[in-house]
Amino acid sequence: MTDKKTALDAQTIAPHGIDKQALDKQSLDRQSLDRQSLDRQSLDKQAMPTIKQGFWRSKRFNIWLKKRVPPAKVVTLGQRNIFILPTGQGLYFVVLIFFMMLAGINYQNSLIFALAFLLISLFIVSILHTFRNLSGLTIQAGQAGPVFSGQDAAFTVTLSRNGARTYESIVLGWHADMMQGADLLDNTEDQARLYVTTGQRGWFNPGRLLIQTNYPVGLFRAWSWVDLDMSVLVYPGPVAGGDIPVSLVAVNEGEALLKSGTDDFHGLRQHQAGDSLRHIAWKSYARTDELLTKEFNSFVDRTVWLDWDHFTAMDPEARLSRLCFLVVQLSQMTDDYGLRIPGILIQPANNPEHKNKVLKALALFGLDPDE
């Protein structure tokens, strides 16, 4: 009897043990699925605002916008390229008017109706004034100087008006944290300096410029996306690498400057009035009774070749960054420097034009020059 009871207990305990392990496994699987589901929901919530905010930058919208507002150096805003919608405050304003109308109907109060109709009139009139604050405004592209990768490029944009119409509270820029304000009240023209952060080397196009206004009461937002066909050359980001490698210096190259100095002996010449007595060749004078003066020469400049093959342990972008750093260093010295990279050879020189030429070659290396 005892053995049977023990066997029954063992049979009872064994299944419970198996069931417990199975339940633990199912619980872990369920927790994992729940966690994945929560992660997906979290990602979906994070992605939704991005999709909504990115609609105005979407490919389909840009194709339509390019046909409606083509790129141009000078753009005048009008009905074809100005968009207008109520702001958040404008939508609340509409809701307020709706409830006021309901209250007027419910209480049959003429004063409430009068106030509601007054607010409706204000709402409609503000559409015209907000649109008018951009209509007729002319935007012209300016100049932008080259920058190094990662720096903020400065673009100059000129705003101008015709006639007596004035413009207030104009905001323009490429990014929300770099927007600039402008007014055209007493002056007919104003320049705005706009900044945008650059990325990779080469020609950088900041894209369409956003210009907008909420004037006069903030119930509507009028805006336009204009492409001023602007671009800026972005040089590789210079990466410091110490002093100029000795192997890049061409020894005894450069102009030899003849002078009475302390460097290498060059030869003898006829003595001239004013020559230093220390440089007179007295031994030669003792033998020949002819007064001669010693000449010395020295190399006033080195010629440095910035060679692509010198930095074999680096990837192409790292080589360009190191060469860019050396160009910046050498441009502050008196040494002439040249550039040797695959397909490009620039002879040595040292002046601002030469510096820009070398940096441009580094910026566009391996890229389409027109892009």
- Is the pLDDT higher at 69 or at 29? 69
Same domain for 158 and 291, yes or no, is no
How high is the mean pLDDT of the chain? 78
Instruction: Report yes or no: 280 and 301 within 8 Å, Cβ to Cβ.
Output: no
Residue 139 backbone dihedrals phi, psi, to 5 degrees? -120, 130
Same domain for 215 and 310, yes or no, is no
Final residue before a domain boundary, out of 245, 275, 300: 300
| Residue 38 falls inside a structural domain | no
Q: How many other C-beta atoms lie within 10 A of the C-beta of residue 131?
A: 18
| Residue 149 falls inside a structural domain | yes
Same domain for 228 and 369, yes or no, is no
Residue whose structure tokens are 């020295």: 298
For the stretch 270-321, pLDDT in tens is: 777 766 777 777 777 778 878 888 776 555 556 888 888 888 888 899 999 9
CA–CA gap between residue 190 and residue 138 (Å, rounded): 11
Which residues does residue 185 pair with via DSSP β-bridges, in sequence order?
A: none
For the stretch 78-123, pLDDT in tens is: 988 899 999 999 999 999 999 999 999 998 889 999 999 999 999 9
| Residue 199 falls inside a structural domain | yes
Same domain for 102 and 86, yes or no, is yes
**Counting beta carbons within 10 angstroms of the beta carbon of residue 309, is it exposed (0 to 12), middle (13 to 18) or buried (19 or more)?**
exposed
DSSP 90-150: HHHHHHHHHHHHHHHHHHT-HHHHHHHHHHHHHHHHHHHHHHHTTTT-EEEE-----EETT
pLDDT-based confidence at 263, cuts 50/70/90?
low
| Residue 101 falls inside a structural domain | yes
Residue 349 backbone dihedrals phi, psi, to 5 degrees? -170, 180
For the stretch 195-209, pLDDT in tens is: 999 989 999 999 889
pLDDT for residue 122: 94
pLDDT for residue 370: 59
Same domain for 294 and 319, yes or no, is no
For residues 130-147, average pLDDT: 92
Nearest to residue 324, comparing CAs of 371, 361, 350?
A: 361
For residue 332, the enclosing domain spans 237-254+301-371
CA–CA gap between residue 355 and residue 350 (Å, rounded): 7
Which of 25-29, 185-189, 351-355 is least confident? Answer: 25-29
Same domain for 134 and 248, yes or no, is no
Same domain for 144 and 242, yes or no, is no
pLDDT for residue 297: 57
pLDDT for residue 266: 62
Number of separate domains in the chain: 3
For residues 198-222, average pLDDT: 92
pLDDT for residue 36: 44
Same domain for 248 and 335, yes or no, is yes
pLDDT for residue 118: 94
| Residue 36 falls inside a structural domain | no
pLDDT for residue 309: 85
Q: Give yes or no for residue 22 having a pLDDT over 70.
A: no
Which residues does residue 269 pair with via DSSP β-bridges, in sequence order?
A: 293
CA–CA gap between residue 9 and residue 223 (Å, rounded): 81
Q: Which of 2-6, 8-12, 131-135, 250-254 has the highest mean pLDDT?
A: 131-135
Which of 14-23, 59-68, 330-339 is least confident? Answer: 14-23
| Residue 54 falls inside a structural domain | no
| Residue 27 falls inside a structural domain | no
Final residue before a domain boundary, out of 300, 320, 354: 300
Same domain for 76 and 158, yes or no, is yes
Structure tokens belonging to residue 103: 């209250």
| Residue 279 falls inside a structural domain | yes
pTM of the entire structure?
0.65
Residues of the chain with pLDDT > 90: what percent? 42
pLDDT for residue 253: 46
Structure tokens belonging to residue 87: 């702001």
Q: What is the 3-state secondary structure (H, E, C) of 154-179?
A: EEEEEEECCCCCCEEEEEEECCHHHC
Helix (H) or strand (E) holding 25: helix 2-53
Final residue before a domain boundary, out of 186, 203, 235: 235
Same domain for 205 and 226, yes or no, is yes
pLDDT for residue 7: 43
Same domain for 207 and 332, yes or no, is no
pLDDT for residue 163: 82
Same domain for 107 and 187, yes or no, is yes
